[in-house]
Amino acid sequence: MIQLHNVSKSFVRPNEGRLEVLKAVDLTVDNGEFVAITGPSGSGKSTLMNILGLLDRADSGEYKLLGRPVSKLSATELAKTRNRTIGFVFQQFHLLPRVTATENVELPLLYSNSRNTTKKAIDALCRVGLEERLNHYPNELSGGQQQRVAIARALVNSPDVILADEPTGNLDQESGRQVMELFSELNRAGSTILFITHDQQLARQATRWIQIDAGLLHTHAPAGRN
Amino acid sequence: MNWKLMLTSSVRMMLRYKLRTLFMSIGVCLGVATLIAGQALGTGSQQQLAQRVDQMFGPGTILIFSSTLNAADLEEISSQLDQVIAWAPRFTAGMSDVSYQGVDTRATVFGHAQQADFVWNRGVMAGRFFNSDDISQAARVALIGTRLAEKLFTGASALDQQILIGSIPFRIVGVLEPVGIDPHGEDRDEDVFVPITTAMRRISNSQYIGSAKLVVSNHELVDQDADQVAGILRQRHRIAAGERDDFAIYTSKFAGQAAVSAKQVVNTYVFAASIVVLLVAAAVISSIMLVVVRERVSEIGLRKAIGATKQQISLQFLLETAAVTLISGLIGVGLGLLVASVVSDYLAVPMVVGLPSIMLGLIAALTVGVVSGLLPAKRAAGLEPIEVLR
Ligand SMILES: Nc1ncnc2c1ncn2[C@@H]1O[C@H](COP(=O)(O)OP(=O)(O)OP(=O)(O)O)[C@@H](O)[C@H]1O
Ligand SMILES: [Mg+2]
């Protein structure tokens, strides 16, 4: 599903010179995997996620998504691939404030040729347990509920992979636990999920745990459920 | 892409940001309303003016003004030019005191011949017009306009009453049909008509007629006919080549053109005014939308992250502004019609609403939307998700 080979990324910052965030990393993620990524602040977790999510390009190396090299894709093709292949979940939820939960979840369908968009949005909200909150506005929902709306939005287009950058970072422990439970459930139902976290406890729930340090990836000793 | 959803979500966005939408729409509403009301009233008043000019002049008519015009000149013209099918002299005796049993007023006194009801288009609504006896005997009979009749008799019948013009007693034999205000703004319903012979001999003691009106058979040729009339007058008044005319000639065509050019002045003014308002509206909308784009960077970033292309983001913002301005344009059309009908009632000017001007208003509104949305849309489309989704 995801194949990174020799991928490097650095940022040039004024006065501070070049900062090598990713140093020729390799990573393969297969269908149905549930991967946790941890690492110190500033270690490049989000940078990796952005490259995987086609929001940023690697400086060098090769990235194949679903077997296709992405380096040759145009901006429009990248957008279309993001729309169909990837579901994003962000730390800050990024819901549109003035539209209802259903309309928020409907959003990715706006950019694909979908039919029955409202029904699909409602189905996705049901999957995340928010069938009672369909017409609520984000400010009428708790943080945990908002993040579940965001997860429903990530699910609605049936993506091949869900990328979540610190999905529990803004949530209290209980809501965070519920979100992780939801991810586990989705993974059991077949979704491929990568998520970033600072919480070792949560990382342990994944089927694979990758640590980033000094621009390199290390596989943490296998852990997980059953 | 899902067009229906895209459109409905644009309209929804517009409704959710009510205050912003209101500010964006005011200018377009006013601009379009100005255009619609101006066109409706401009066209209406032009048609009214043209109608009055027509009524005053009549189609295919030639007006002659000359302080040395006499009856022989006119007889010569009508005998030389077969196309002159009717003519009537008019003598202007000027303002005079007019009174009836102690009610005093002033009115313009004209001397007319018996054919003036047709040639000058001033029939009577009560009583009778002058007959040939009135003219040949220089009778002391008079016709008065409706407003003058109202002033002097306040509702009672004017017929057969004795009035004084200056100090001369006249018997009223008819009341003239109302014609309203002439293009110079004078109320032609306050006039007094007396037989032309009476006016020239008894009131003013003049041997010259002053003015006359000719009706020609083919009103398309009225300008050529006028040239021939001028030729005859120059000859009869012994005006050498190179010397100036001692008369002035106007034709119905000339008057019609004056009315048309008055309309063009009004229309140009209205058009310029609404263009200015719409340009200001476009600038306002554009700057509001730039602020909106800045406020909504994370929304835009999110939309791009979940798969919106640059074009789709541009389109979204263009649709949002175009939806606002198009709906404002529709409201502006309604507002313009309302204003036009109120003003039309108030000033007694007819309004004429043309479909083209409504279409023009809506197209202008839409254009304002698209033009003012371009820059904000471009700015929005250029945003990169990773820059704004931190
Ligand atoms: N656009 C950029 N320009 C310059 N430097 C950047 C840019 N994006 C990231 N960096 C730097 O790259 C490094 C890695 O950033 P990244 O956001 O990937 O870290 P992270 O592991 O996600 O950290 P955190 O846990 O705090 O979210 C940081 O030092 C950051 O300052
Ligand atoms: Mg990060």
User: What is the residue-wise DSSP string for B133-164?
Assistant: HHHHTT--EEEE-HHHHHHHHTTS--TT-EEE
Does B321 lie in the same domain as B274? yes
Does B193 lie in the same domain as B75? yes
Residue B248 domain flag: no
Q: pLDDT band for position B228 (50/70/90)?
A: very high
Does B74 lie in the same domain as B43? no
Residues of B in contact with A55 (CB under 8 A): 305, 384-386, 389
Interface mutation vs chain B, best among A94, A151, A153, A162, most B CBs within 10 Å: A94
Average the pLDDT over each of B68-77, B193-202, B249-258, B344-353 and give the range with the smallest value. B249-258
Strand B162-165, strand B168-176: pairing: antiparallel
Question: Domain ends where: B168, B202, B217?
Answer: B217
Residue B227 domain flag: no
pLDDT at B102: 86
CB atoms within 10 A of CB B362: 18
pLDDT at A221: 67
Residue of A nearest to B388 (CA): A94
Given a contact cutoff of 8 angstroms between Cβ atoms, the answer to whether A180 and A205 are in contact is yes
Q: pLDDT band for position B18 (50/70/90)?
A: confident
Is the pLDDT assigned to residue B265 strictly greater than 90? no
Residue A226 domain flag: no
- A38 Cβ inside 6 Å of ligand 1: no
Residue A225 domain flag: no
**Angstroms from B22 CA to nearest CA on chain A:** 17
pLDDT at B33: 94
Contact A114/B305, CB-based, under 8 Å? no
Q: How far is the CA of B86 from the CAs of A9, B7, B119, B212, in angstroms?
A: 100, 68, 7, 11
Q: To the nearest whole number, what is the mean pLDDT of chain A?
A: 93
Query: Which residues are registered as beta bridge partners of A10?
Result: A20
Residue B335 domain flag: yes
Contact B306/A106, CB-based, under 8 Å? no
> What are the tens digits of pLDDT across the range B321-360?
998 999 999 999 999 999 999 999 998 888 888 899 899 9
Q: Scanning the structure block, which residue is given the tokens 């297969």?
A: A30
- A45 Cβ inside 6 Å of ligand 1: yes
Q: How far is the CA of B133 from the CAs of B72, B115, B198, in angstroms?
A: 20, 13, 12
pLDDT at A114: 86
Does B7 lie in the same domain as B98? no
Query: Which residues are registered as beta bridge partners of B111?
Result: B91, B194
Q: Scanning the structure block, which residue is given the tokens 């319903």?
A: B189
> What are the tens digits of pLDDT across the range B131-189?
999 999 999 999 999 999 999 998 889 899 999 999 999 999 999 999 887 767 788 89
Tokens of B203: 């009131």
Q: Per DSSP, which regions of A14-154 are E strands?
A: 17-29, 34-38, 60-65, 68-69, 86-89
Distance of CA B340 to the CA centre of its chain: 14
Given a contact cutoff of 8 angstroms between Cβ atoms, the answer to whether A166 and A43 are in contact is no
How far apart are the C-alpha atoms of A194 and A190, rounded to whole Å? 13
Query: How many residues does this entry show for chain A?
Result: 226
pLDDT at B13: 74
Going from the Cα of A47 to the center of ligand 2, the distance in angstroms, rounded, reads: 7
For residue A140, report the phi and psi dihedrals to the nearest 5 degrees. -100, 5
Does B181 lie in the same domain as B136? yes
- A11 Cβ inside 6 Å of ligand 1: yes
Residue nearest to atom 5 of ligand 1 (CA): A11
Which of B159, B126, B311, B143 is closest to A79 using CA atoms?
B311
Residue B223 domain flag: no
Residue of A nearest to B315 (CA): A111
Interface mutation vs chain A, best among B18, B304, B306, B386, most A CBs within 10 Å: B306
CB atoms within 10 A of CB B138: 17
- A167 Cβ inside 6 Å of ligand 1: no
Q: pLDDT band for position B12 (50/70/90)?
A: confident
Structural domain count of chain B: 2
pLDDT at B251: 86
Query: Which residues are registered as beta bridge partners of A2?
Result: A29, A65
Structural domain count of chain A: 1
pLDDT at A48: 96
Does B299 lie in the same domain as B160? no
- Answer with the residue of higher pLDDT: B51 or B118: B118
Residue A50 domain flag: yes
Tokens of B13: 């966005």
Nearest to A96 among B2, B299, B305 (CB): B299
**Which of A162-171, B19-28, B239-248 has the highest mean predicted lDDT (pLDDT)?**
A162-171
Does B68 lie in the same domain as B22? no
Does B41 lie in the same domain as B71? no
Residue of B nearest to A98 (CA): B16
CB atoms within 10 A of CB B345: 10
Residue B237 domain flag: no
Task: Report the atom number in ligand 1 closest to the C-alpha of A212.
Answer: 21
Q: pLDDT band for position B100 (50/70/90)?
A: very high
Residue A24 domain flag: yes
For residue A34, report the phi and psi dihedrals to the nearest 5 degrees. -130, 100
Does B191 lie in the same domain as B43? no
Does B372 lie in the same domain as B262? yes
Quote the domain boundaries for residue B311. 3-51+257-389
Quote the domain boundaries for residue A57. 2-220
**Angstroms from A59 CA to nearest CA on chain B:** 16
CATH number at residue A10: 3.40.50.300
pLDDT at A226: 42
> pLDDT > 90: what percent of chain B?
59
pLDDT at A29: 96
Is this structure's pTM higher than 0.90? no
Residue A213 domain flag: yes
Query: Which residues are registered as beta bridge partners of B194?
Result: B111
Ligand positioned closest to the Cα atom of A38: 1
Does B272 lie in the same domain as B125? no
Strand order in the sheet with A68-69: A17-29, A2-13, A60-65, A68-69
Count how many Cα atoms sit within 13 Å of the Cα of residue A77 in the half-sphere of its side chain.
8
Residue nearest to atom 3 of ligand 1 (CA): A11
- Answer with the residue of higher pLDDT: B57 or A10: A10
Contact pairs from chain A to chain B, CB under 8 Å = 78
Phi-psi region of B317 (alpha: psi -120 to 50; beta: other; left: phi over 0): alpha
Alpha-carbon Rg for chain B in angstroms: 33
Nearest to A111 among B17, B298, B312 (CB): B312
Q: Could you tell me which residues of chain A have a Cβ less than 8 Å from any Cβ in chain B?
A: 50, 53, 55-56, 75-76, 79-80, 82-84, 88, 90, 92, 94, 96, 98-99, 103, 106-114, 117, 153, 157
Going from the Cα of B378 to the center of ligand 1, the distance in angstroms, rounded, reads: 28
Tokens of A139: 């400010």
Does B303 lie in the same domain as B189? no
**Angstroms from B2 CA to nearest CA on chain A:** 5
Contact A109/B311, CB-based, under 8 Å? no
Question: Domain ends where: B168, B200, B217?
Answer: B217
pLDDT at B1: 62
How far apart are the C-alpha atoms of B42 and B266, rounded to whole Å? 6
Residue A62 domain flag: yes
Q: To the nearest whole number, what is the mean pLDDT of chain B?
A: 89
Residue B105 domain flag: yes
DSSP B312-377: HHHHHHHHHHHHHHHHHHHHHHHHHHHHHHHHHHHHT------HHHHHHHHHHHHHHHHHHHHHHH
Query: What one-letter code names the amino acid at A6?
Result: N
Intervals of chain A under pLDDT 70: 221-226
Which of B364, B241, B384, B225 is closest to B301 using CA atoms?
B384
Alpha helices in B63-181 (DSSP H): 71-80, 116-119, 132-136, 146-153
Which of B279, B315, B354 is closest to B28 using CA atoms?
B279
Residues of A in contact with B384 (CB under 8 A): 55
- A74 Cβ inside 6 Å of ligand 1: no
